[in-house]
Amino acid sequence: DIQMTQSPSSLSASVGDRVTITCQASQGIINYLNWYQQKPGKAPKLLIFDASNLQTGVPSRFSGSGSGTDFTFTISSLQPEDIATYYCQQYDTLPLTFGGGTKVEI
Amino acid sequence: EVRLLESGGGLVRPGGSLRLSCAASAFTFSTSAMHWVRQAPGKGLEWVSMISGSSGSFYYADSVQGRFTISRDNAKSTLYLQMNSLRAEDTAVYYCAKDRDVLSAFDIWGQGTMVTVSS
Kindly give, in sequence order, each residue whose CB lies less than 8 Å from that of residue B114, ignoring residues fewer than 6 positions away: B9, B10, B92, B93, B94
Residue A88 has a pLDDT of 98
If you average pLDDT over every residue of chain A, what do you get?
A: 97
Q: What is the mean pLDDT of residues B108-114?
A: 98
Residue B103 has a pLDDT of 86
pLDDT above 70 as % of chain A: 100
Residue B54 has a pLDDT of 83
For chain A, the first-to-last Cα distance in angstroms comes to: 34
Whether B115 contacts chain A with CB within 8 A: no
Residue B13 has a pLDDT of 97
Rounded to the nearest angstrom, the minimum Cα separation between B43 and chain A is: 8
State pLDDT tens for residues B14-24: 999 999 999 99
**Most distant CA pair in chain A, distance:** 38
Pairing between strand B68-73 and B3-7?
unpaired
Rounded to the nearest angstrom, the minimum Cα separation between A85 and chain B is: 9
| Distance of alpha carbon B91 from alpha carbon B106, whole angstroms | 22
Beta bridge partners of A47: none
Residue B12 has a pLDDT of 97
Do A44 and B46 make contact, defined as CB atoms within 8 angstroms? no
CA A3 to chain centre: 15
Among B62, B100, B111, the residue with its CB nearest the CB of A43 is: B111
State pLDDT tens for residues B46-99: 999 999 988 789 999 999 999 999 999 999 999 999 999 999 999 999 999 999
Residue B56 has a pLDDT of 83
Residue B65 has a pLDDT of 97
**Most distant CA pair in chain B, distance:** 40
pLDDT band of B102, cuts 50, 70, 90:
confident
